[in-house]
Structure formats: structure tokens, C-alpha cells
Amino acid sequence: MSRVCDICGKGPSVGNVVVRKGSPKYKGGIGLHTTGITKRRFLPNLRSVRVTDAKGNTSRKCICAKCLRAGKVTKA
């Protein structure tokens, strides 16, 4: 199963996990120092839902929660 919404096409995006060490300056420390950066993935919140199309046919699609809440599909 691909992790892509069938309605809006939203898919995984990438970012970083940033590990910092130290105490921030506004708390009286010498500042935060970055000690490690690791790549990570942000996955969409997909739901498998039975939907009806304009002709009245039902099918199972993967819909992101944002499209589901917005009412972009009609549930069967």
C-alpha cells in the first residue's frame, strides 16, 4: 500500500531530528549546541474508507484525515 492520499495526493515528507545539548541562554546557560542530525519521515494520517462515487459505486480508498474531516468524500 502506497502512503499517498487518493483524494489530495498528500504523501510522506522528510525532515530532521535535531538533538541539542546544553542549557538555553535565556535560562542562564551558555546556549544549546547541536550534537546530531538524523533524517526522518513525516507520514500522512491515512484511513482506509469505503466511499461512494458520483455513479453510486462503492470502493475502498485510502483517504487522509484532513480530507475526511473536510467532507471531500461520501462514506458508503
Which residues lie below 8 Å from residue 49, measured CB to CB, with a gap of 6+? 60, 61, 62, 63, 68, 73, 75
Global pTM value: 0.76
Domains and CATH numbers, the chain: 13-75 (2.30.170)
Average pLDDT over residues 4-19: 96
Can you tell me the distance from the alpha carbon of 26 to that of 23, in angstroms, rounded to the nearest whole number? 9
Q: ∠ CA(38), CA(66), CA(10), 5° rounding?
A: 50
- Write the pLDDT tens digit of every residue in 28-59: 999 999 999 999 999 999 999 999 988 999 99
Residue 1 has pLDDT above 70, yes or no: no
Can you tell me the distance from the alpha carbon of 43 to that of 53, in angstroms, rounded to the nearest whole number? 26
> What mean pLDDT is reported for the chain?
95
**Whole-angstrom Cα Rg for the chain:** 21
Residue 70 has pLDDT above 80, yes or no: yes
